[in-house]
Amino acid sequence: MPTVITAADGADFLALVPHLLGYQPERSVVLVAFRGRRTCGALRFDLPDAASTAQLRRTATTMVGMLCRIPSVDAMVAVVYTDATFADGMPHADLLDVLVHRAEVSGLRVRDAFCVGVDAWASLLDPESPKGGHPLGEIAASAVSAVARAEGLSTDRQPKGEVSLPSVSLADAERVARILDSVDRHCVAGTVLEVAAAPLMDLVARVEELLGRPVGDLRAGDLALLGAVAERPLQRDVVILQVAFGRAAGHRAAAMQLAALDGESIDDDAGAHLLSGTGPRPDPDRLERGIEVMSLVTAAMPRSRRAGAFSMLAWFHWALGSSSRAAVHIDRALECDPGHGLSELIDRMVRGGRLPDWAFDVPLVDESEVRYAALPHSA
C-alpha cells in the first residue's frame, strides 16, 4: 500500500521536488510527470541560456517529447530553477510559457508551472502571484519535507553534473600502477585472456565477488584488476553488462566473446542493444554499486590510463538516466584519450539528448504516491 504524500499548495510541491530527484536542483528545468494524481517520473534538464522564441520552442519540444515517452503520462508540472532574481518579475517566464504551450499541444494537462529564483518563487499560472514572488521561506517551512524524509526520500545525492572521485592513498595508487604495468608486460595484446591470464568465466566470478565486498575492503590488486578490465574492450563490455544486469548476463556476454575468439559466427545483438539502452531495465542497486566501485578504481589509476574507467562510470550513470553526470565522466575520458571508442559512442548519445529506453519505464519514486492537490488556477 503506497504512502500518500499530499502537497496542498505550490510551496508544498516545490518542497517535494528535491526529494523526487534525490538532490536540490540548480539552474535546471524539472518536468514532473503524472498519471492521474500520481507522480510517475521526473526529468531534469540543464536550464537553457537566453535564446530566441524559435530556439525556446525547439528546446521545449525536445523536453516535452522526452516526458511523453513515459508510459501513460497525462499531466505534468514544470519547474524552472534559476540563480536570477524576481526584481523585474518572474525570470524565464518565456521558457515556462513555451513549455506550457508545447505540453498542451502534446495532449498533456499542465497542472502548474513554477519558477524558483534566488530570492522568491511563483507560479506562472497564478494571476494573483505578486510580481516579486512568494518568500522562499514558505518552501523551507513546508511540512512535506519532513514527511518525505520519513518515507526515505532523501536529498543527499550529488546534484546533476557534480561528480567527484574518492581519495586514494599515494601508496595504493603506486601499487595499482605497478600491477597495471606488470599486466601489460605479461599479456598478449588483443586477446580475451589478457587480465592476469584469467579466463573470462573466471573473471565474471571474480567481479561478482568484488561487487559483494564493502568498498573499504578492496585492495590494490582488486582495483588493478578492474582497472585492467576497463582498458580492454572485450572484458570491459562483459563487466558492464554483468554489473548492470546480473551475473547471468555476464556469463552470456563472456560466452559470446569466447565463441567469437574461437572463430564462430555470432549474433550478439542482445548485448549491443543493452549497451545502447534498448532492453529490460537494469538493476539500479547494482549500477549504484558499480559506480561506487569504479569511482575508487578510477581514482587509483594513473591519470593517463583512466579513459576506460571513466567510460564505464559514464555508462553506469547514463543507464540510471543521469546524462549530466555521464557527460562529466565522458569529458574526462576524452581528455585522457580523444579517440576512445566507447567514450565517443556515449558522448554522441548524451549530446544528442538520448536516454536509455528503460529510463522511461519506471518512475523515479516507486515507493510513495505523491498527490498534488491542484490549486484553483490549475484545476
Burial class (CB in 10 A: 0-12, 13-18, 19+), 153: buried
pLDDT single digits (tens) 81-126: 999 999 999 999 999 999 999 999 999 999 999 999 999 999 999 9
Rg over CA atoms, the chain: 23
Residues 298, 165: Cα–Cα separation, whole Å: 8
- Nine cell digits for residue 151: 518515507
Strands annotated E in the chain: 3-7, 28-35, 38-46, 75-81, 109-116, 121-123, 368-372
**Most confident among 24-33, 112-121, 322-331, 340-349 (mean pLDDT):** 112-121
DSSP state of 249: H
- The answer, as to whether pTM is greater than 0.75, is no
What pLDDT does residue 263 have?
Answer: 60
User: If you count them, how many residues does the chain have?
Assistant: 379
Least confident of 215-219, 262-266, 311-315, 357-361: 262-266
Among 344, 314, 313, residue whose Cα is nearest residue 326: 314
Residues 30 and 367: their CA atoms lie apart, in Å, by 20
Nearest to 149 by CA among 28, 22, 24: 22
Q: Any idea of the CA torsion for 354, 360, 365, 368, to the nearest 10 degrees?
A: 170
Average pLDDT score over the chain: 83
Predicted confidence at residue 123, as pLDDT, reads 95
**Look-up: residue for cell 534538464?**
45
Higher pLDDT, 244 or 195: 244
The helix (H) or strand (E) run that includes residue 20 is helix 10-21
| pLDDT score of 271 more than 80 | no
Just give the CATH number of 3-159+361-378: 3.40.140.10
When pLDDT is cut at 50, 70 and 90, the band that residue 5 belongs to is low
pLDDT at position 113 is: 96
pLDDT in tens, 27-39: 999 999 998 888 8
Mean pLDDT, residues 145-169: 67
At residue 322, the pLDDT reads 82
- Average pLDDT on 52-79 reads 90
CA atoms within 13 Å, Cβ hemisphere of 353: 14
Work out the number of other CB atoms within 10 angstroms of the CB of residue 75: 23
Give the residue, 122 or 198, on which the prediction is more confident: 122
DSSP 46: E
How many angstroms separate the CA atoms of 188 and 182, rounded? 12
Q: Tell me the average pLDDT across 268-289.
A: 83
- pLDDT above 70 coverage of the chain, percent: 81
The predicted pLDDT at position 124 comes to: 95
The whole-angstrom separation of Cα 62 and Cα 68 is: 10
Using the predicted structure, report yes or no on whether residue 326 has a pLDDT greater than 70.
Answer: yes
Pairwise CA distance, residues 115 & 80, whole Å: 5
> For 155-169, 248-262, 288-302, which range has the lowest pLDDT when averaged over its residues?
155-169
pLDDT of residue 42: 85
Per-residue model confidence (pLDDT) at position 52: 85
CA–CA separation, 19 vs 6, rounded Å?
A: 13
Q: How confident is the model at residue 144 (pLDDT cuts 50, 70, 90)?
A: confident
Contacts of 203 (CB under 8 A, 6+ apart): 195, 229, 235, 238, 239, 254
Which pLDDT score is estimated for 207?
Answer: 93
Domain boundaries, given as residue ranges, for the chain: 3-159+361-378, 170-338
pLDDT at 334: 96
Residue 369, classed as helix, strand or coil, is strand
Please work out, in degrees rounded to the nearest 5, the angle formed at the alpha carbon of residue 140 by the alpha carbons of 135 and 143. Answer: 125
Grid cell digits, residue 319: 543507464
Q: How far is CA 216 from the centre of its chain?
A: 24
**Could you tell me which residue, 324 or 291, shows the higher pLDDT?**
291
